[in-house]
Chain A
Amino acid sequence: DIQMTQSPSSLSASVGDRVTITCQASQDISNYLNWYQQKPGKAPKLLIYDASNLETGVPSRFSGSGSGTDFTFTISSLQPEDIATYYCQQYDNLPSFGQGTKLEIK
Chain B
Amino acid sequence: QLQLQESGPGLVKPSETLSLTCTVSGGSISSSSYYWGWIRQPPGKGLEWIGSIYYSGSTYYNPSLKSRVTISVDTSKNQFSLKLSSVTAADTAVYYCARHIVVVTARGWFDPWGQGTLVTVSS
List residues of chain A with CB under 8 Å of any chain B CB: 1, 32, 34, 36, 42-46, 49, 55, 87, 89, 91-100
Contacts and interface: CB of A to CB of B under 8 A. Distances in A.
Nearest to B49: A95
B103 interface: yes
A42 B60 CA distance: 26
Given A36-B110, A98-B46, 18 more contacts: A36-B47, A42-B115, A43-B112, A43-B114, A43-B115, A43-B116, A44-B110, A44-B113, A46-B112, A49-B109, A93-B107, A94-B49, A94-B60, A96-B49, A97-B46, A97-B48, A97-B49, A100-B47
B111 A46 contact: yes
Interface residues of B, number: 24
25 contacts: A32-B103, A34-B109, A43-B96, A43-B113, A44-B47, A46-B109, A46-B112, A49-B108, A91-B103, A91-B104, A91-B107, A91-B108, A91-B109, A93-B107, A94-B62, A94-B63, A94-B106, A95-B37, A95-B52, A95-B106, A96-B49, A97-B46, A97-B47, A97-B48, A100-B47
B109 A89 contact: yes
B47 A87 contact: yes
A95 B37 CA distance: 10
Contacts of A42: 115
Contacts of B46: 87, 97-100
Nearest to A1: B63
Nearest to A43: B113
A94 to B, nearest CB: 6
Interface string B14-52: 000000000000000000000001000000001111001
A93 B52 CA distance: 13
